[in-house]
Structure 1
Amino acid sequence: MFKGWFTRRGARDAKNAVPSSHLIDLRNIVKTFESAAGSFTALKGVSLTVDRGEFVAVIGKSGSGKSTLINMVTGIDRPTSGEVFVGGTPVHTLSEGQMSVWRGKNLGIIFQFFQLLPSLSVIENVMLPMDFCNMYRPRERRERAMMLLEQVEMTENAHKLPSAISGGQQQRVAIARALANDPPILIADEPTGNLDSKTAEAVFRLFEELVAAEKTIVMVTHDNDLARRASRSVIVADGEIVNQYLAQALPRLSLDQLITVTRQLDRLSFAPGQPIVHQGNPADYFYVITRGQVEVIIDQPGGGELVAEVLNQGQYFGELGLLDADGMRRATVRAAHAGDEVEVVALDRAEFHAMLDACERTRADVEQVAGQRRSNGMAA
């Protein structure tokens, strides 16, 4: 529905731009708030990258730091230490005046409570960012606002005040306003938190259409079901990001279980071609790949070896040896010869079984994968 509606007018301000392969790049962000009661560290050395066209859901408990995290992207909060790059701009270095102009041209922000100006009509609210940033010719602004309202099915309410329309309708207007200057990134902080389930579903479908039209969306949400429909989830707990590849590999773990398991992980790296586990050795760890590829190798009876399977980031291995009674490895797994260094996170035998005991659905999933690999002779 939105394709073809987002043609930029003029080049972006290249001042302060730096080369970057990521649209959003947060590097070792620490954020400490000072108050009369003392200091509180909301983010503890967080790093995060988001690429163009991604739909990223940020989830976590209240007070976990998820809103502070996206406030780093928008510049609403400044990092105590660390660097924030968005579209190549070092956001952490901008003055307040520079920040407001940059934000208006590059970000669309959608709030839980809409934040429409009550004294302006719906169409005037949508036109406001264009006026503020001097985007588009004055005679084009009203036409563009009406086109955006049409896309969110709000043209009939264009001349009403926000108080005359429902909460779901106000959120649709807020989305149209966020799109006014055709920003490459939309930041949404609990955009469905104040809506009923039917209206929340309609708003989420709008987001999916925008991603299909090549927008990038970073959305804070408390709704795990909606988060699963994003292209990936980032889980924040106690000011830190829970390993995203663990969440991808074991999606049935609850948030509390993911936090527990993440704190138990060992992080390991292997050079290309280096073995990670050896066929015939006792099984001691369960592994999730966080970077690169690994090869599952089966020794042949007459000598030589067979590459039985290639696994990528977000996949796991090592479960079969931990599940079988004899506890032995059935295959060798090594970092792929081609490519860069391989990184994995590892959970030891006792913690692996504790995880399965805590989540029967995860146990069923892992045992199903193990059964498939066992029947194909591919498991380690």
Structure 2
Amino acid sequence: MSVILKNVHKSYESESGVHPVLKGIDLTIQPGEFVAIIGKSGSGKSTLLNMITGIDRPTTGSVRVNDTDLHSLPPRKLAPWRGRQIGVIFQFFQLLPTLSLLENVMLPMDFCGMYAPRERLQRAMGLLEQVQMAEHAHKMPSAVSGGQQQRVAIARALANDPPIIVADEPTGSLDSKTADSVFTLFRHLVERGKTVIMVTHDNDLAHQVQRTVVVVDGEIVNEYVMQAFPHLDAEQLGHLHSRLERVFVPAGSMIIQEGDEADRAYIIVSGEADVLIHQGFGEDRVVNRLEPGQYFGEIALIHGSRRTASVRAREDMELLAFGKEELSGLLNRSTMTVEEMNQEVRERLAQLATMKQAVMK
């Protein structure tokens, strides 16, 4: 079941005026993906989750889950739809304190009229067994630990066998060992074909999923920025994201020229480019090809030297450009990125030197 958000804006009104929270979100999540949504407090990540679950509606834009347009679904139909299609897991569990753990798991089945009454008890016990909580089935939520309550909350989210599981900071109030066990449960769900969408503040967990979406000030950081600089955390990515300039280059155009002074480096968003070195006699030789998610032009910026090679667009391209100031800020914020970029520079310079020697022969 796919999730598609197109140009989603969400604003809230208060006495002090209108406050935009989401600003033109475009996001597609494919069936069976394990996606983490990260960002600082107030960035809009929980509001984004509320758009996906239909708990809140966009001010403008569209939200489509499989064949259902949530933004146009009547309120009376929304809750039953959600109960069947999406399992929601909250940070603080939200188990009903007056019901046993078993009854909490059975509740979504009762609410949506799913399964025959005699099947519900059997199914709920089976789900508690999956999360290793069957022996506590008849206890009240207050009688078990926070980690155990979260396991029951996961079982409850699975009660109606929904194709999508949405979790809002599911490990935020757990110790690291319990958080790891909950995360392992999510991975098993993905292996069974479920789509899992998880809001988290834990960068380590976020880097273990198939895909990470970073939200900064109500906008999604381009995925190719994260691919180019995988060691940056949400705050560092947000700092870089706010300073990038979008550039469109037509096919055949020279983006940088060997021997020129360097002013910017680039991240490729779409299209491919050729790296060329000059052979003499007015000819250039292609020595490498660059694809989306790669960056180039950083060597001369780092060393304060002239361009060591040319780069030409093979097709129409979209790039994100950043200058020396942004690069310095990037390197100051991430030791891992410094090490990675220095290694990349060494490898590229060695490759260029080898190619130039071959050309001279």
Common fold, TM-score beyond 0.5? yes
1:240-259 equivalences in 2 (<5 Å): 240-259=219-238
Deviation at 1:295, TM superposition (A): 3.4
* Correspondence 1:192-231 to 2 at 5 A: 192-231=171-210
Aligned to 1:268: 247
Q: Give secondary structure in 1 for the equivalent of 2:165.
A: strand
Output the amino acid matched with 1:351: E
1:153 aligns with 132
Aligned counterparts, 1:49-88, within 5 A: 49-88=28-67
**What is aligned with 2:358?**
none
- Of stretches 207-216 and 105-114 in structure 1, the one that deviates more from structure 2 is 207-216
What corresponds to 2:101 in structure 1? 122
Of 351-360 and 195-204, deviating more is: 351-360
| Alpha-carbon shift at residue 145 of structure 1 (Å) | 1.9
The separation in 1 between residues aligned to 2:183 and 2:286, in whole angstroms, is: 42
* Matched residue, 1:4: none
Match of 1:19 in 2: none
Asked if 1:346 corresponds to 2:324, the answer is no
Task: Work out whether 1:376 is the aligned partner of 2:351.
Answer: yes
**Deviation (angstroms), 1:167:** 0.9
Displacement of 1:272 after TM fit? 4.7
Alpha-carbon distance in 1 for matches of 2:131, 2:280: 64
Shift of 1:36: 3.2
| Equivalent residue number for residue 16 of structure 1 | none
Alpha-carbon distance in 2 for matches of 1:333, 1:267: 17
| Alpha-carbon contact 2:39-2:201 (below 8 Å) kept | yes
After superposition, the Cα gap between the structure-2 partners of 1:214 and 1:275, relative to the gap in structure 1 and judged at 3 Å, is farther
- 1:240-277 residue CA offsets vs partner (Å, 9 max, x unmatched): 22333212321333433322211111112334554433
The structure-2 alpha-carbon separation of the partners of 1:328 and 1:95, relative to structure 1 and needing over 3 Å to count, comes to same
2:267 partner SS: strand
Distance 2:285 2:114 in 1: 60
Write the distance in 2 (CA, Å) between the matches of 1:293 and 1:158.
57
Distance 1:174 1:303, change over 3 A: same
Match of 2:120 among 129, 138, 141: 141
Distance 1:346 1:163 in 2: 54
Could you report, residue by residue, the CA deviation over 1:23-50 in whole angstroms, capped at 9, with x for unpaired residues?
1111111111122343322112222221
- Tell me the CA shift for residue 100 of structure 1: 0.7
Deviation at 1:307, TM superposition (A): 4.3
Aligned residues: 354
2:2 and 2:289 map into 1 onto residues whose CA distance is 29
2:344 is the alignment partner of 1:365: no
Deviations 1:116-149 (A, max 9, x none): 1222222222222222222233333222222222
After superposition, the Cα gap between the structure-2 partners of 1:256 and 1:153, relative to the gap in structure 1 and judged at 3 Å, is same
Deviations 1:277-312 (A, max 9, x none): 333433322111223433334455688665433333
Q: 5 Å matches for 1:90-129?
A: 90-129=69-108
AA of the residue aligned to 2:146: G
8 Å CA contact 2:262–2:305 kept in 1: the answer is no
Of 40-49 and 293-302, more deviation after overlay is shown by: 293-302
Q: Give, in whole Å, the separation in 2 of the partners of 1:295 and 1:56.
A: 32
Which amino acid is 2:320 matched to? V
Cα distance in structure 2, aligned partners of 1:321 and 1:37? 48
Structure 1 residues not aligned, in runs of 5+:
1-21
Determine if contact 1:320/1:370 at 8 Å carries over to the other structure. Answer: yes
State the match for 2:148 in structure 1. Answer: 169
Which residue in 1 is equivalent to 2:111?
132
Alpha-carbon offset, residue 373 of structure 1: 1.5
TM-score (norm 1): 0.86
Whether contact under 8 Å (1:289, 1:313) holds in the other structure is: yes
Structure 1 residues 326, 83: CA separation in 2 closer, same or farther (over 3 Å shift)? same
Contact in 1 for aligned 2:255/2:310 (Cα 8 Å): no
Residue 294 in structure 1 maps to residue 290 in structure 2 = no
Letter of the 2:337 partner, please give it: T
Output the amino acid matched with 2:219: E
Q: Distance in 1 between the 2:335 and 2:346 partners?
A: 16
- SS of the residue aligned with 2:43? coil
Query: What amino acid is aligned across from residue 336 of structure 2 in structure 1?
Result: R
Give the alignment's TM-score, normalised by structure 2: 0.90
The percent of aligned pairs where both chains have the same amino acid is 52
